[in-house]
A and B are shown apart, each in its own frame.
Chain A
Amino acid sequence: MAPQNDSPPLLEVRNLSIEFPTRRGTLVAVDDISLHIDQGEVLGVVGESGAGKSLTGNAIIGLLEHPGRIASGEILLNGKRIDNLSYEQMRRIRGRDIGAVFQDPLTSLNPLYTVSRQLVETIKVHTDLDTGAARARALELLEAVGIPAAKERLSSYPHEFSGGMRQRVVIALALAAEPRLIIADEPTTALDVSIQAQIIALLKRLCAERGTAVMLVTHDMGVIAETADRVAVMYAGRVVETGPVASVIQNAHHPYTSGLMGSIPHMKHGVNRLTQIDGAMPRLNAIPQGCAFNPRCEKVFDRCRKERPELISIEQNEVACWLYQSDVGGVS
């Protein structure tokens, strides 16, 4: 998974596992995944609910909720480990080096403080600017994210904004300290499609201008298609396929990825029936042995039920599926 050049990728996740100890045993929610994001790159992480995509994002910014914990693996930012930092050290990295945009803009903002106060606070915590300069910077940011009459809106409270405008404020907050990486967890899911297009365009433009890398976590393949450079498809806590976005969408190898693509209603094609993947994602306490997708897979064979496939390179993609590994043999 390591890139070819010598400089380390901006973010590297190595063999990360996240588990939840419970009274009835330990549940493994994210199982040995590896990802990397280069400078200025947009990585889409896509999967259905429960695939572990949000947990991965939360683990990177050090916001795993108790009792969830990193069981093994490393997270490296610019080659330095950040998964073993203390809460206080991590707090300084969050915001300054890694920004975050969450799904619900109303719960990410403090309803009791004006937008200006929240922006100024964030800017002052992470930079050396004094209050006056921080206020000017806050105004600049609100203008950059396209809030009309930004000067007047500075003293507004979050509830006075519409959903789309709130998400713009959250993006302004995430960009406040010019981080090099933004984790955007379903940033447009709570918004209408017409607003969604605006927010995606905004996020993409601002990050391109600033050279900020984005890890875009979403279940919406359409958003990934227009935004991401590379995409990682997750299923039941594992990455099943990863590669350049065009290659994964148009030339999917893993049966889950191709099923997922077929199940999206398509405007251009006159399809009468959608491809359907029967069944549902397994629960964490009942992840099947071997390939986790095997009970729903049409092309399942013996080996899928016994051994777990690892990612191997097929054309431009990396795919974890025994269909393509017969000749490799005994990789696990």
Chain B
Amino acid sequence: MSDAPVIGPAMTKSGTLMRVEGLKRYFDVSPPLLNRWFEGRPRQILKAVDDATFDVERGKTLSLVGESGCGKSTVARCLVGLHKPTGGKIEFDDIVVTASGTDHFAQVRHRMQMIFQDPFASLNPRWRVFNIVAEPIRAFGLIDAGVALTRRVHELLDLVGLTAEDGKKYPHEFSGGQRQRISIARALASNPEFLICDEPTSALDVSVQAQILNLMRDLQDEFGLTYLFISHDLSVVYHMSDSVGVMYLGRIVEIRSAAEFFAGPLHPYSQLLLETIPSLENIGVARAPLAGEVPNPLSPPTGCAFHPRCPFANDRCRSERPSLREVNGGLAACHGVEENRISETQQL
């Protein structure tokens, strides 16, 4: 692993900003020790994220999609340091921030920020908005208190469509959409390059969601921000992303450029996800629902975790776990795709 590198301004303005290799995050959900002793119950390890590998390009948006419990939020939390990964390597701008034995997280902490799902839970109800937005600036010691700080906070509030007056109010005085604007202002306060957005609009109404998505795109254009965007809503993902990673039961099953992904996904699970989006064009036409649900992550199926729901599964899928392989310029973890049993055009 590399020795403590020096933080400096980014040398290049393109290329990979964040590189994640073999990221693992396991949770020990075993019964208490005495129960294990006396009842002979085994240890139980929940593999929330198992061997996730992906790159995020500078200035672009990578979206992670998947059903609840697939591990997408755990990935986000590992990247910003809210969870300590069980294994794997995270590199930010060529600085190894987490790998076995080394931890240079503090060096890059102010360069990445997170926007959370629930704007009602992620803002301290007892702080005024001014202090909420100023907190990262104070915490990282970026600007000394005084006129400069006040000016900077007002600038941030203005940037997200609020006024300087709003800084004097408390979070409860704002609607959900306005609170999410405050979250964005707070996230931008330390001049980050990388924003991790964990379902930023899923708690909002559609008309407000449109406002927030438009704002996030404008900010990306203005500041060259890089987003890791997490969502279960594929139409939102379509609107925001440059590339898309699909997760299923803790593993990435497909990762491709958004254009290719939405034109014709490779993995049968991706096809299922795309099929199940309600469309405003097919009025009165029911979606073709695929049977089955996400299996219990404590005892994932053998082989490919998706095989119980997959119409193309064969014996190999049931016994051997597929790894991510390059297919048509993207990556997919599927024996069927590799063996050419499933083509993009084939519909489920």
26 contacts between A and B (CB under 8 A): A164-B293, A192-B68, A193-B233, A193-B234, A195-B67, A197-B275, A197-B278, A198-B291, A201-B286, A222-B277, A222-B279, A225-B282, A226-B278, A226-B283, A246-B284, A259-B207, A260-B207, A265-B233, A268-B279, A268-B281, A274-B213, A274-B214, A276-B207, A276-B214, A277-B210, A280-B175
The distance from the CB of A255 to the nearest CB of chain B, in whole angstroms, is: 12
Q: Which residues from 209 to 225 on chain A have a C-beta closer than 8 Å to any C-beta of chain B? A: 219-223, 225
B204-242 Cβ-contact flags toward A at 8 Å (1 or 0): 011111110110010000000000000011111011000
The answer for the CA separation of A201 and B280 in the assembled complex, in Å, is: 16
Q: Closest chain A residue to B262 by CB distance?
A: A267
Given A198-B289, A275-B210, 17 new contacts (CB under 8 A) = A48-B205, A48-B208, A192-B68, A193-B233, A197-B278, A197-B290, A200-B287, A201-B286, A225-B281, A225-B283, A261-B280, A265-B210, A268-B279, A273-B217, A276-B214, A277-B211, A280-B178
Q: Does residue B272 face the partner (Cβ distance < 8 Å to A)?
A: yes
Q: Does residue B124 face the partner (Cβ distance < 8 Å to A)?
A: no
Q: Does residue A266 face the partner (Cβ distance < 8 Å to B)?
A: yes
Q: Contact check, A204 vs B276: say whether CB atoms are below 8 A apart.
A: no
Q: Which listed residue, B209, B211, B287, touches A226 by the CB 8 Å rule?
A: B287
The answer for the CA separation of A291 and B276 in the assembled complex, in Å, is: 37
Contact residues in B for A2 (Cβ distance below 8 Å): none
Contact residues in A for B205 (Cβ distance below 8 Å): 48-49, 219, 281
Q: Contact check, A194 vs B276: say whether CB atoms are below 8 A apart.
A: yes
Q: Contact check, A194 vs B278: say whether CB atoms are below 8 A apart.
A: no
Q: Contact check, A194 vs B290: say whether CB atoms are below 8 A apart.
A: yes
Contact residues in B for A264 (Cβ distance below 8 Å): 206, 210, 235, 280
Q: Closest chain B residue to A245 by CB distance?
A: B283
Q: Closest chain B residue to A198 by CB distance?
A: B289
Contact residues in A for B283 (Cβ distance below 8 Å): 225-226, 245-246, 249-250
Q: Closest chain B residue to A264 by CB distance?
A: B206
The answer for the CA separation of A222 and B209 in the assembled complex, in Å, is: 15
Q: Closest chain A residue to B218 by CB distance?
A: A273
Q: Contact check, B286 vs A204: say whether CB atoms are below 8 A apart.
A: yes
Of all A-B residue pairs in the complex, the 9 with the closest CB atoms, nearest first, are A222-B278, A263-B210, A48-B205, A274-B210, A197-B289, A265-B239, A265-B235, A198-B289, A192-B67
Contact residues in B for A226 (Cβ distance below 8 Å): 278-279, 282-287
Most buried by A among B262, B275, B287, B291: B287
Given A194-B67, A219-B205, answer yes or no on A265-B238 (Cβ-Cβ < 8 Å).
Answer: yes
Q: Does residue A15 face the partner (Cβ distance < 8 Å to B)?
A: no
The distance from the CB of B270 to the nearest CB of chain A, in whole angstroms, is: 12
Q: Does residue B177 face the partner (Cβ distance < 8 Å to A)?
A: yes
The answer for the CA separation of A44 and B115 in the assembled complex, in Å, is: 33
Q: Closest chain A residue to B309 by CB distance?
A: A194
The distance from the CB of A41 to the nearest CB of chain B, in whole angstroms, is: 13
The answer for the CA separation of A250 and B279 in the assembled complex, in Å, is: 12
Q: Does residue A278 face the partner (Cβ distance < 8 Å to B)?
A: yes
* Interface size range on B against A: 35 or more
The distance from the CB of B178 to the nearest CB of chain A, in whole angstroms, is: 7
The distance from the CB of B274 to the nearest CB of chain A, in whole angstroms, is: 8
The answer for the CA separation of A154 and B232 in the assembled complex, in Å, is: 32
Q: Does residue B273 face the partner (Cβ distance < 8 Å to A)?
A: yes
Q: Contact check, A276 vs B280: say whether CB atoms are below 8 A apart.
A: no
Contact residues in A for B239 (Cβ distance below 8 Å): 265, 271, 274
Q: Which listed residue, A192, A195, A221, A246, touches B206 by the CB 8 Å rule?
A: A221
A170-205 Cβ-contact flags toward B at 8 Å (1 or 0): 000000000000000000000011111110110010
Interface size on A, residues (CB 8 A): 47
The distance from the CB of A302 to the nearest CB of chain B, in whole angstroms, is: 25
Contact residues in A for B279 (Cβ distance below 8 Å): 222, 225-226, 267-268
The answer for the CA separation of A196 and B211 in the assembled complex, in Å, is: 26
Given A201-B286, A274-B214, A280-B177, answer yes or no on A267-B207 (Cβ-Cβ < 8 Å).
Answer: no
The distance from the CB of B327 to the nearest CB of chain A, in whole angstroms, is: 22
Q: Does residue A162 face the partner (Cβ distance < 8 Å to B)?
A: yes
Contact residues in A for B293 (Cβ distance below 8 Å): 162, 164-165, 195
Q: Contact check, B286 vs A221: say whether CB atoms are below 8 A apart.
A: no
The distance from the CB of B225 to the nearest CB of chain A, in whole angstroms, is: 17
The distance from the CB of A322 to the nearest CB of chain B, in whole angstroms, is: 21
The answer for the CA separation of A234 and B10 in the assembled complex, in Å, is: 50
Q: Which listed residue, B207, B232, B273, B280, touches A266 by the CB 8 Å rule?
A: B280
Q: Contact check, B280 vs A197: say whether CB atoms are below 8 A apart.
A: no
Q: Which residues from 154 to 196 on chain B have a C-beta closer than 8 Å to any C-beta of chain A? A: 175-178
Contact residues in B for A281 (Cβ distance below 8 Å): 205
The answer for the CA separation of A18 and B209 in the assembled complex, in Å, is: 28
Q: Contact check, A225 vs B206: say whether CB atoms are below 8 A apart.
A: no
Contact residues in A for B277 (Cβ distance below 8 Å): 193, 222, 267
A228-253 Cβ-contact flags toward B at 8 Å (1 or 0): 00000000000000000110011000
The distance from the CB of B212 to the nearest CB of chain A, in whole angstroms, is: 9
Contact residues in B for A274 (Cβ distance below 8 Å): 210, 213-214, 239
The answer for the CA separation of A250 and B283 in the assembled complex, in Å, is: 10
Contact residues in A for B206 (Cβ distance below 8 Å): 48, 219, 221, 260, 263-264
The answer for the CA separation of A197 and B285 in the assembled complex, in Å, is: 11
Q: Contact check, A276 vs B210: say whether CB atoms are below 8 A apart.
A: yes
Q: Contact check, B289 vs A201: say whether CB atoms are below 8 A apart.
A: yes
Q: Contact check, A200 vs B286: say whether CB atoms are below 8 A apart.
A: yes
Most buried by B among A165, A264, A278, A281: A264
Q: Contact check, B278 vs A220: say whether CB atoms are below 8 A apart.
A: yes
Contact residues in B for A164 (Cβ distance below 8 Å): 293
Contact residues in A for B209 (Cβ distance below 8 Å): 263
The distance from the CB of A106 to the nearest CB of chain B, in whole angstroms, is: 14
Given A200-B286, A245-B284, A276-B211, answer yes or no on A267-B235 (Cβ-Cβ < 8 Å).
Answer: yes
